[in-house]
Amino acid sequence: MTTSPTVFRVLRDRNARLYLTALVVSGFGTSSLWLASGVWAKDLTGSDGLAALSMLAMWAPTLAGPALGTPADRFRRKPLLVSLNLGLATLLLTLFTVDSPGRLWLLFAVLFLYGTAGVVSDAAESALVTAVVGQDLLGDVNGLRTALTEGMKLVAPLTGAGLYTLYGGPAVACLDAVTFLLAAGLCGLLRVREERPARSGGNWRRQTAQGVRHLWGHPVLRPLVGAGGTTMLLTALAGTTVYAVADRLGHSPAYTGVLYAAQGAGSVTAGLLAGPALRRLGARRFAAAGIALTGAAVVARAVPWDPVALATSVACGLGLPCVLIAALTAVQQETPGPLLGRATATANTLVFAPTVLGLAVGAGLVELAGPGLLLPLYGVALLLTALPLLQRAASASRTAARSPSDANPA
């Protein structure tokens, strides 16, 4: 299985290049601000809790994904993305006034609006990419999207931290604003013909419910999205043990940065392999293989040995993106265009919202039991999550194999 032909095929597509470049540019700014915002809150107040709340402010709007995805179906997606990027660039400039604990509320407000715009933007991007890129390239584009996003996480937070140390929070906000201006320009260059969306009847709540019903009633999407949410819950639980793992290995908490870097390298590789693997295995098998690999890695991480810890971090990075890429690609392929924004935002909520619960519950559990007990339990649960997808894939294969003879009985 080689990645280069499909990667080159994607990069030869003008719209795909513009889309991915805009993603890299805006993602770089977002990852830079993500770390700097917590440091900023910590410096102003000395509170670890408020520093954590700054990150929660960006995540919280994900819970309202089904409703926030509705604008992506009510407006043309390209102008909407350009407007969102320009709006965020302007909004970030207000952070220049955050210079005391009394103005920290403004940082939280901006981060909350930032996260809200991000949910709408993700839904619009997912819907727009199906119009600018061929259906056969969606898996490759989503894989490259993952590779580039994870690659940004390896370098952008360090850039943000360095810029913050030298010039303070407003400098990081300015960098992020510039990246959104560039992203707006790149989105404006996309060549796509979009019809004005028909204003369907019914109120906002009814339109939002249509996206939920589509996912819940779809025989392919429901198990994939459900498996994605369960996987994110269990990996969040496992993630809360990372500092305890470093301690068992005899390292300082800073060693977690090495483990996260190894996981990021695995995720970049997974993104490059995703397109060919998705075509060869199909969505269910690809997702199940990734979940099973992640589960096995989580079990093995209970072994207190440095080489095992590094290897399992890479394995988690390889496995975890598989179900996410499979679910997103399936949503794009199995959802009618007028409904795609709402369906994508709903899927993102169902997949990523459990992360918040997992982090909260896991933080309590790790105080009661060590990683030697918890990690095998989480890993086995992941392996059990993969099993129904494999069974469904096997059942679908048997049905497909029987259909020719059923259609032409002897």
Q: Are residues 82 and 168 both part of a single domain?
A: yes
Give the residue from 61, 12, 350 showing the smallest Cα distance to 214: 350
Token couple for 228: 């994605």
Evaluate if residue 74 carries a pLDDT over 80: yes
pLDDT in tens, 176-210: 999 999 999 999 999 888 877 766 555 677 778 88
Predicted model pTM? 0.85
- Torsion sign, CA atoms 278, 282, 283, 287: negative
Q: Could you give the number of structural domains in the chain?
A: 2
pLDDT in tens, 221-245: 999 999 999 999 999 999 989 889 9
Instruction: Please return the burial class of 404, using the count of CB atoms within 10 Å of its CB with bins 0-12, 13-18 and 19+.
Output: exposed
Q: Are residues 160 and 243 both part of a single domain?
A: no
pLDDT in tens, 249-264: 998 877 887 888 899 8
Report, as an integer, the average pLDDT of 337-344: 91
Q: Are residues 297 and 249 both part of a single domain?
A: yes
Q: Are residues 321 and 362 both part of a single domain?
A: yes
Any domain includes 197:
no
Bigger pLDDT: 55 vs 317: 317
pLDDT in tens, 296-314: 999 999 999 999 999 999 9
Q: Are residues 358 and 285 both part of a single domain?
A: yes
Q: Are residues 140 and 247 both part of a single domain?
A: no
Q: Are residues 290 and 353 both part of a single domain?
A: yes
Q: Are residues 90 and 13 both part of a single domain?
A: yes
Listed range (2-6, 92-96, 334-338) with the worst mean pLDDT: 2-6
pLDDT in tens, 77-93: 999 999 999 999 999 99
Any domain includes 67:
yes
Average pLDDT of the chain, as a whole number: 88
- 158 vs 32: CA distance, rounded Å: 7
Name residues whose C-beta falls within 8 Å of residue 215's C-beta, 6 or more positions apart in sequence: 221, 222, 225, 331, 343, 346, 347, 350
Report, as an integer, the average pLDDT of 390-410: 61
Percentage above 70 pLDDT, the chain: 92
Domain that holds residue 172: 1-189
Any domain includes 135:
yes
Span between the terminal Cα atoms of the chain, in Å: 39
pLDDT range class, residue 160, cuts 50, 70, 90: confident
pLDDT in tens, 96-105: 999 999 999 9
Evaluate if residue 48 carries a pLDDT over 70: no
Give pLDDT, residue 401: 60
CATH number at residue 64: 1.20.1250.20
> Which single residue is written with the structure tokens 């949503």?
331
Bigger pLDDT: 227 vs 398: 227
Q: Are residues 170 and 242 both part of a single domain?
A: no
Q: Are residues 268 and 384 both part of a single domain?
A: yes
Helix axes 306-334 and 221-239, enclosed angle (nearest 10): 150
Any domain includes 407:
no
Report, as an integer, the average pLDDT of 4-15: 74
35-42 contacts, C-beta under 8 A, 24 or more apart: 35/157, 35/160, 35/161, 36/160, 36/161, 36/163, 36/164, 36/169, 36/172, 37/107, 37/111, 37/169, 39/161, 39/164, 40/98, 40/107, 40/164, 40/169, 40/172, 41/104, 41/107
Give pLDDT, residue 406: 46
